[in-house]
Amino acid sequence: MTMETAETLETTQADRNRVLVEIEDLKKYFPIHKGLLHRTVGQVKAVDGVTLSIRKGETFGLVGESGCGKSTFGRVLLRLQSATSGKVLFKDRDIHALNAKEMQKLREEMQIIFQDPFGSLNPRFLVKDIIGEPLRIHRNMSGKKIDARVVELMELVGLDPSRRNRYPHEFSGGQRQRIGIARAIALNPQFIVADEAVSALDVSVQSQVINLLMKLQKEMGLTFLFIAHGLNVVRHISDRIGVMYLGKLVEVAETEAMFAAPLHPYTAALLSAIPKPTPKKKLERIVLQGDVPSPANPPAGCRFHTRCPFVQDKCREQEPQLEEKLPGRLAACHYPLLEKGNGPSTVQVSIHAK
């Protein structure tokens, strides 16, 4: 990409307020089969009613423990998997209602980067073919044209283009992730789901790849859904963060607001698990009791009640909805932490680890 196009594509503040992806009560259940007759005996509620707007040009970080439904959410968002119910509107178009041809066209605008830089690249393909494949399929490019674009893309992601005739195993983990990123941006997409894109990398390489993604976002006006286990990984890159628990969002906030004063006890627990506490506020470490319940049989009432240090009777009976507790701050909790002090600036989590 030339500097000129980079500049014209740079996001403006007005753009950032526009919604790119609108998700309405999205659900994805997987049937559980048993026995010789393969009877359906239950359902894994991997994503269980998520409503969210992702704004143009923002990075939305999605965090939560293993198995809470993050990857499923990302895949259903891109229609790599069907939805059980609910809607995903990408630029106002209901993507699960598009026909195959319309969907193939839209695929150019939505891409995914996977966690595993070793498994996600075909080991038998040269790097230039891996990066060039989407151009061949979607743009019908070949020969010198494709080669020139591959060189450009490799430079853009910080790879030496003279190595394009090599195989992925000749590259390090961080470099492979750059190959995956080059491939993902080959068609100039608008929206990228990065599913644990840096989780398999060393910490130092992690920040290099995160910096690369941030640079590309600025230059290309990209919108990211950035999925990771822990809050510390998404902090640097995310404008807003959503915390997921057993298939549902329990808190959504601007990054710094969330770090300054989490509203949901689960967010507070995730924050308190970060080794270096933020200098302003020291959260007591909250050690969650018990295991994550099964998404096939989530607890009644608030799903988090079985592990919540602040649980009360209402939490066992009524399911809290994700709603605005403070301007721009959503939480699904009957007793958000702000009510334990005189507002978010005085939040104190006074639970002691066992």
Ligand X SMILES: Nc1ncnc2c1ncn2[C@@H]1O[C@H](COP(=O)(O)OP(=O)(O)OP(=O)(O)O)[C@@H](O)[C@H]1O
Radius of gyration in angstroms for the set of CA atoms belonging to the chain, rounded to a whole number = 21
Should residue 295 be labelled a site residue for ligand X when binding is judged by CB under 6 A? Answer: yes
Separation of CA 88 from chain center? 15
Scanning 61-69, 178-186, 253-261, 311-319 for contacts with ligand X by CB under 6 A, the matching segment is: 61-69
Q: Please identify, using beta-carbon distances, which residue of 29 and 310 lies nearer to ligand X.
A: 29
Q: Which two three-digit tokens encode residue 296?
A: 């096939």
Residue 66 binds: one of ligand X, Mg ion, none (C-beta under 5 to 8 A by kind): ligand X
Should residue 69 be labelled a site residue for ligand X when binding is judged by CB under 6 A? Answer: yes
Rounded Cα distance, 46 and 129, in Å: 35
Phi, psi of 301 (to 5 degrees): 70, -140
Size of the site for ligand X (CB under 6 A): 13
Rounded Cα distance, 232 and 248, in Å: 20
Scanning 71-79, 137-145, 229-237, 299-307 for contacts with Mg ion by CB under 5 A, the matching segment is: 71-79
Burial category of 158 from C-beta neighbours within 10 Å (exposed 0-12, middle 13-18, buried 19 and up): middle
Residue 295 binds: one of Mg ion, ligand X, none (C-beta under 5 to 8 A by kind): ligand X
Minimum distance between the CB of residue 70 and ligand X, rounded to whole angstroms?
A: 4
Phi, psi of 78 (to 5 degrees): -95, 5
Residue 308 binds: one of ligand X, Mg ion, none (C-beta under 5 to 8 A by kind): none
Should residue 229 be labelled a site residue for ligand X when binding is judged by CB under 6 A? Answer: yes
User: In Å, how far are 132, 209, 212, 352 from 168, measured between CA atoms?
Assistant: 14, 17, 19, 48
Report 163-222 residues binding ligand X (CB under 6 A): none
CB atoms under 10 Å from CB of 38, counted, come to 9
Phi, psi of 24 (to 5 degrees): -120, 110
Q: Please identify, using beta-carbon distances, which residue of 114 and 335 lies nearer to ligand X.
A: 114
Handedness of CA 191, 195, 201, 206 (dihedral sign): positive
Minimum distance between the CB of residue 170 and ligand X, rounded to whole angstroms?
A: 28
Scanning 66-74, 131-139, 252-260, 332-340 for contacts with ligand X by CB under 6 A, the matching segment is: 66-74
Should residue 82 be labelled a site residue for ligand X when binding is judged by CB under 6 A? Answer: no
Should residue 71 be labelled a site residue for Mg ion when binding is judged by CB under 5 A? Answer: yes
Should residue 248 be labelled a site residue for ligand X when binding is judged by CB under 6 A? Answer: no
Which residues of this chain interact with Mg ion, rule CB under 5 A?
A: 71
* Residues in touch with ligand X (CB under 6 A): 30, 44, 46, 64, 66-72, 229, 295
